[in-house]
Structure 1
Amino acid sequence: MDLSRARMAVAAGFLTQGLILLSLTTRLPDFQDKWHLSDVTLSLVLLMMILLAGVGSVVAETLAKRLDSALLLRSGLLLIAVALPVMCLAPTMVVYIAGIAAYGVGLGIVDASTNMQAVALEHRYGRPILPSFHGAWTLGGVVGAGIGFATAELPVEVNALVGLIPLAVAFGPFLPRDHGPTELPTEVAVPWRPIILVGVAMVLFYMVDTGVQTWGPLFLDHTFTTPERYVALSALAYLLASGAVRIAGDRLVARVGVVPILRVGAVVGAAGLAGVVFSPTWQVAVLGFAVLGAGVAVVAPLSFSAAARIAGAAEDGVEFSPAVRQARVDAVIARFNQFNYVGALLGSVMTGLVGQDSLRIGFAVPMILVLGIIPLAPAFAPKIIALTTRPR
């Protein structure tokens, strides 16, 4: 198969995922007004969506033992393509909630399967390519936010047209699984301890990431007399800086190494958050968010890459057959994706609770916790010895 075509298709999957999510979140106030949802009710709806995304990821983990991740990705994209117009065109609030629920499950499936495809391609390429895939997600997020702002004066029903994007991407030339038996052997033990160490680092990242995108605009609005049209710059500056580093991340990681990149990035991220916490003006706070984005940009892609490398390593000196290896890695990646939602819940809830009196205090907590990535960095580059004797 042409790997370059598969790589473009998977990148389109990442881009679509970010585009849909941000195009929806920027229109949340309009959905809230349309259905007369209180802040508490809207928060519960979003919590439901995150929890169902976790369910979707679990579904992907279960099915990955038997089904191709390309098929899972197509299914998730098609589910989102249906859920989006249901949300936007819903005649009643019950139908809207049903659309949100379907989108949440689809989001979890796409979350897991895009990363399954990405780590499989990285294995084929034999060099780091995960950062640029996540860079495509960030680019999609920027485009999605732009769509949301461009359609801000139009009825939310117009956003149903965005559902055509995942519908088109679903038919891309994704990477098929290697031929051979695809049922994951029940006797294979996955080395969860080193994978969990990497997962803790990903929780720390998504805690910061979600905290910025959820509370950053409110920080600018509540802490300073920021013009209303500029409060979104907190998330935009973070996304742009993060996207730029991710796109350059493939070569950067290959040249410098995983552990130094993560350690330096954690320090830079903490410095960026310090700039936010102690910012004298909203302009300085926006700069701090940008520095933070640049510092922590590659934590998530390197986490998935490390988990796949650990899961796919030879066991007891015996390498797995290609089909079994990919089935094993796919199942692990889907479960590993749960760390994403743990971090998202912590970031959205903890920052707000701690910072209920002052969001400066709310952002001071992740400023300290993000430094926890420094001692966890060696877990991303384990000494794996593969003494091949025969394929399983």
Structure 2
Amino acid sequence: MTPPSSGGSPVSTVIRRARVATSAGFAAQGFVYAVLLTSLEGFKDRYGVDDGQITLVVLGVCVMAALGTLVADRVARSSGGSRVVLGSGLAIVAASVVVAAVAPGFALLAAGFAVYGVGLGMVDAGTNMQAVAVQREYGRSLLTGFYASWSAGGIVGAVLVAVTTGRTPTDPVAVALLSGTLVAGLAAGWVLRSAWRGRGPAGVHADGVARPDEALAIPVGAGERPVVPWGAVLLLGLGVVAYYVADTAISTWSTIYLGDVLLAAASFAPLGYAAYLTTTLGSRLAGDPLVRRWGRVIVLRVAALVGAVGLVLVVAAPGPWVALVGFAIAGAGLGVIAPLCFSAAGTLAPGHADAVVARLNIFNYVGAVLGGVLVGAIGSTSSLHYGFLVPIVLVVAVAVLAGRFGVTRAEGARATADSEAGA
């Protein structure tokens, strides 16, 4: 059966293709991100660098990604919209992976990561812009499902590094990394061909119908400057920061933590991130149905508490297997936090959702700096055991403030009833 939109009219083939293309963009981003970050231990060995230098590289990526988000905001206002943002960002990511794979020295590797940062920022913003637009056309929660595609791609990337470590050449070319170029390049072409191109006035969908579910959002007339409700964006930004502090800490440092601190084997160390991504995928697949049944607030609060429990287990772990379980539990909780924040952002100013999403996306890199750089700095001066305390505090704060993040159970039930009635 063709899925209904929020107004009860069928969702067109064009929109369904856009949904698939957006999912491909999320999956490609997750794949490349995992391949690069689970290779950090190998980069340390290849170039003879330490955790401090890796921390500086991560900081550079975050800074350049913030720049990429600003570029995305400007490009999204052009005739190509967020489709071009996402496609171009994926092409930049594909090129940057080639540089990282062939870099003969650490300086060129760092330059490759800087280019990757620009592409990362554009893809992060572009995927969320596309996801919010497609969700609006469908008229029901889809964001956690899109993020599930990111997790699936990340799992494949992390496992690829685990099974190829010590089995494929890394000098003069890191062969396994080149798979990231292929995946990102193919996704870029797919997005540019099939992603969502709709650009209508505020509150009006591709079929020309003004949706009643947007009636309470901030009104913005066609052609007006984007209205950004900063109070709401800052609150959602707290959730985004908390998630990305935890996520970046795990993605950047879990392999090094398991290998250097808990003395896991080189083939075992990348599995911490793989375990985290696996349970993150499960939580995201379940997230949209749970939100429609219980509402955003309850789902967000429970998810944050589960994530905090997992992180506590990581900090207290006496050995690699206990830490692996901790990373898995953390993923089961943390996975839905960011998509629910971006889902809420998409309703704040429907006519200019891209502008709101681009600004919220900046908090991604605030969290990434704290998670990748601050956690690494603490680990360099003391131990990564203490570094993982930082995300615990922020995730608990999200659980405490979850009541201010939006949709109630009753509202979620009404949305589900409307969707079922349209079917």
> What's the TM-score once normalised by structure 1's chain length?
0.85
Mean CA deviation greater in 274-283 or 250-259: 274-283
Find the partner of 2:358 among 310, 327, 334. Answer: 334
Give yes or no for contact 2:37–2:252 (8 Å, CA) kept in 1: no
Task: State how 1:1-392 maps to structure 2 within 5 Å.
Answer: 1-2=12-13, 3-67=15-79, 68-90=81-103, 95-152=108-165, 153-156=167-170, 157=173, 158=175, 159-172=177-190, 173-178=194-199, 185-221=223-259, 224=262, 226-312=264-350, 325=351, 328-355=352-379, 356-381=381-406
Amino acid at match of 2:74: T
1:367 Cα deviation after fit? 2.3
Residues in 2 aligned to 1:141 and 1:335: alpha-carbon distance in whole angstroms: 25
What stretches of structure 2 of length at least 5 have no aligned partner? Answer: 1-11, 203-219, 412-423
Q: Indicate the SS of the match to 1:66.
A: coil
Distance 1:302 1:33, change over 3 A: same
1:312-352: per-residue Cα shift (whole Å, max 9, x none)? 2xxxxxxxxxxxx1xx1112111211111111111123334
1:186 Cα deviation after fit? 4.8
How many pairs does the alignment contain? Answer: 370
1:8-31: per-residue Cα shift (whole Å, max 9, x none)? 111010000011111122333444
> What's the TM-score once normalised by structure 2's chain length?
0.80
Distance 1:47 1:353, change over 3 A: closer
Mean CA deviation greater in 266-275 or 296-305: 266-275
Mean CA deviation greater in 294-303 or 228-237: 228-237
1:147 Cα deviation after fit? 2.4
Residues in 1 aligned to 2:265 and 2:41: alpha-carbon distance in whole angstroms: 18
Give yes or no for contact 2:26–2:127 (8 Å, CA) kept in 1: yes
1:307 Cα deviation after fit? 1.0
Amino acid at match of 2:78: R
Two-structure CA RMSD over aligned residues (Å): 2.7
What stretches of structure 1 of length at least 5 have no aligned partner? Answer: 313-324, 385-392
Q: Indicate the SS of the match to 1:230.
A: coil
Give yes or no for contact 2:244–2:371 (8 Å, CA) kept in 1: yes
Distance 1:338 1:255, change over 3 A: same
Residues in 2 aligned to 1:170 and 1:111: alpha-carbon distance in whole angstroms: 13
Distance 1:232 1:81, change over 3 A: closer
1:150 Cα deviation after fit? 3.5
Amino acid at match of 1:60: A
Q: Indicate the SS of the match to 2:327.
A: helix
1:51 Cα deviation after fit? 0.9
1:70-98: per-residue Cα shift (whole Å, max 9, x none)? 11111111222222223323466655444
